Amino acid sequence: MTKKVKSTAQMSCLIYGASGRMGLQLIHAMKNHPSLNLASSVDEREIKAFDAKHTAVLKFSEKALAAVLQGVDIVIDFSSPKGTSSLTKALEHATGKVVLVGTTGLDNKQRSALFKAAHKGRHKLLLAGNTSLGVATMAKLAKVAVSTLSPAGFDIEIIETHHARKADAPSGTAIFLAKVVEQTDPKLKVIFERKGKREKNTVCIHAVRGGGVVGEHSIRFISDLEEVSISHRAFDRTLFAEGALHLVAEIAKKMKPGDAKELADYLDS
């Protein structure tokens, strides 16, 4: 029997990737959240399970992760591709969780395994490389711009800039925006590198790395006579933590057990 998710007033959360920048932001944001409480935090070294009076500390293992997973309603993952693979295996032995995966850099095999685990365990799963309300709005504006400007012959380029320590390129957000563009106009082909002359109907993602930039994304629509640009700039990682907590509450209400979606598809639903 599928476990019923509790009301949002009682929802307990597991933060996976708790020692990373986003994990720490999520833990801080959850302290004052009215409907979510931190039940467990997990990083590559250890697992902490909390209750009102005690904290249990376990050495990280997939077996321990699976055990702790049973006691929560929500899982928020901002770990690493390797960490998400371990989470996927644990989800195969759990039922009825609300799962938000914000980890970027996953390959197609990892995405497929994650979605299969969600279907098998009747989890509500959303894969979102960016949890910003502003980026979601940017994607909706991009659909309007692509549907109007691409048929008119405008060239489309995507540019993203992040801090020098970011592990993956292009960013998950840039890939998400590229998917939105492709879905809106299927004749367009996204490429990740350009050598020589620009080919017609290609959209190239350009990744810039340097300094401490939190995150900047821009979609440029360029013709011989004019340019339209849609852009987003993040000033503080707090916005991603707040957006993630908003999303999990929304997923719990809107998605059906066994649903597994990427953000581009979720915004269309």
Q: Which of 89, 93, 120, 166 is catalytic?
A: 166
How many Cα atoms occupy the beta-carbon half-sphere of 221 within 13 Å?
20
- The arrangement of strands across the sheet holding 260-262 comes to 55-59, 46-50, 36-42, 11-16, 74-77, 98-101, 124-127, 260-262
Q: At what angle do helices 81-91 and 62-69 cross, to 10 degrees?
A: 60
Ramachandran class of 105: left when φ > 0, alpha when ψ lies in -120 to 50, beta otherwise:
left
Is position 246 annotated as part of the catalytic site? no
| CA atoms of 133 and 20, how far apart (whole Å) | 21
Is position 59 annotated as part of the catalytic site? no
Spatial contact of 98 and 31, defined as CB atoms under 8 Å apart = no
Which of these, 263, 114, 104, lies nearest to 171 by C-alpha position?
104
Q: Which of 162, 217, 232, 261 is catalytic?
A: 162
Catalytic residues: 162, 166
